[in-house]
Amino acid sequence: MKALLEELKAKNLINEELNDNSDLPVHLLSRQGAEYTQAQRDFALTLHLHGPKAYHYLRDDLKIHLPHPSSLKRSVFTVKMSEEVLLARVKALEEEVGRLKAQLKVERDGAGTEERTEASDSFKHQKGEENRSKQKKRGAERPFDFSAHPRRHVALRLAYLGWQYQGFAVQENTDNTVEARLFEALLKTKLIQDRQTSNYHRCGRTDKGVSAFSQVISIDLRSTQCGGGLGVTVPAGVEVKGKASAEELPYVKILNRVLPQDIRILQWAPVESGFSARFDCRSRTYRYYFPRGDLDVERMAEAVKRYEGTHDFRNLCKMDVGNGVLQFQRTILSATVQPAQLNPSCPDDPHQLYVFQVKGLAFLYHQVRCMMALLLLIGQKLEAPEIIDQLMDVEKNPRKPQYSMAVDYPLVLYDCQFEGVDWRNETEEETHVLNSLHQHWVQNAVKTQVLLGMIQGLQKNTTTEMTSLQCWLMEGSRQKKYQPLLERPRCQSLESRIQHFVKRGRLEQEGENGEETTVFRGKKSKHSHLTNTNQLQEQNHGAKTEENLQL
């Protein structure tokens, strides 16, 4: 190895730094094959760095096997980044930092005044933001001044899916009602100050699990119309302008932004100050959806016509005597049973949905669900269609037979009719409501098809007939042996229930000119917010149309 190095030195192919490697064994230069030891790589690297000409002379001319230069790149990079190289790099960076500092100092000296001005502006801006933030906090603490705004009596039309709620009207034992969510939104948006002073009326109160497409309420809301207008009341002290403001508050948009997704405001309308959603309603329409199953729907469609007209429905409702409902005659304008959607390809499909639709002036507590229960019994051929006439004949049947009513979730308050109400739409909100309803439909339609697929899969290889569906639409358990309605035990008569509540002090009987009259005293409730004005209004409308509408 020493002789070889001397030869390379004589040819000026290496420098003095390779003398330290003169004692390396010659086998470091004679190794063949693809693999090299670390000692071979170190020698080749040293030779490549300090005698590159010698490296190429040994590898290319003498054909001595040495690692290829490309395999030494990582090692070369490591050696290049030695302590000396790093120190030189640090020194260069320090010089660059010094140059940049000098340049920055020159720029500051040339624009010192401008910089101080900008700093001052920045400080002022920051202080201004802090002050505005404090003002917002103080504003949040300061109560909203309703006396500085006009009020407008309006009608709101809303839809809701009632399956997750305990009914529409507020209740003392729960706040999970549609009306509770509605008033939370009205208070949050500052559209009303409180319920007591809002002049509030509802068209009907649906029961637990019942939905609505056209529920209507009337209420006084905050307005922008300082110049007056239909239903507008301008408080004393507020400047009255010559013309009404161009735009009223977007009530639909405001409320839908804070209401749950299963409660949607559809439209609003300005109405006269004396308008009542309850007493000015001309008719109400309910729909009850049910599958055909093995029901005789033609028989049901014939029987339902017996409901039309004015009848005493005390045997087809829950008598709410304790709340002062003492008159049970109601007028049904129309009643039908028909397919929800026509399916000409398979008219006898047991899974096809039908709808019982009934339109009337007013309804009693649970009346529609009791009417539907009778139709289901008739459709199963457990009762004759004449049972409807028999139960509406209170002279022959003054006491209601004990029977279960239809379940709640298929029932919908579908329409409420008013005269002279100019409903106003908000186009943007219509799109949002449609998207929301379509989302609900997609979720439930897919679940329905999944279940239907399972049913059809089980029925493929069996001759078993489909289980009767109508039994799932009746509350309670189904009797093993059916007992006809007129043979069943009876509930208390109307007279017995009146006497019961007279004894409890809920009703009073007054005599005048030899005639006895029953007067409802009522019960106190934390949700009883009728003002004297509202009470007078009810008297003027004639409380003879008392109905609970909790169906």
* Residues with catalytic function: 207
Query: Side chain identity at 404, as an amino acid letter?
Result: S
> Which of 165, 548, 511, 527 lies closest to 326, judged by CA?
548
Do 150 and 224 form a contact (C-beta atoms < 8 A)?
yes
Measure the CA–CA gap between 151 and 102, rounded to whole angstroms: 69
Which phi and psi (to 5°) does residue 90 adopt? -65, -40
Is residue 151 exposed (0-12), middle (13-18) or buried (19+ Cβ within 10 Å)? buried
CA separation for the pair 200, 215 (Å, rounded): 14
Residues with Cβ within 8 Å of 382's Cβ and at least 6 positions away in sequence, in order, are 482, 484
Cβ atoms within 10 Å of 440's Cβ, excluding its own: 12
Q: Are 178 and 207 in contact (CB under 8 A)?
A: no
Contact 356, 304 (CB under 8 A): yes
Rounded (10°) angle between helices 83-110 and 112-141:
80
Structure-block tokens of residue 5: 């190095």
The H or E element containing residue 309 is strand 309-312
- With a CB cutoff of 8 Å and minimum separation 6, the contacts of 516 are 509, 510
DSSP sequence for 229-279: -TTEEPPTTSPPPSS--S----HHHHHHTTS-TTEEEEEEEE--TT--TTT
What would the two tokens of residue 73 be?
């790149």
Q: How far is CA 265 from CA 186, 256, 366, 441, 538, in A?
A: 12, 6, 25, 18, 26
**Paired residues of 353 in beta bridges:** 291
DSSP letters, 422-446, are: --B--HHHHHHHHHHHHHHHHHHHH
H or E element in which residue 507 lies: strand 507-512
One-letter amino acid for residue 363 of the chain = F
- CA-wise closest residue to 366 among 183, 551, 164: 551
What SS3 state is found at 42? Answer: helix
Q: How far is residue 526's CA from residue 385's CA, in Å, rounded to a whole number? A: 44
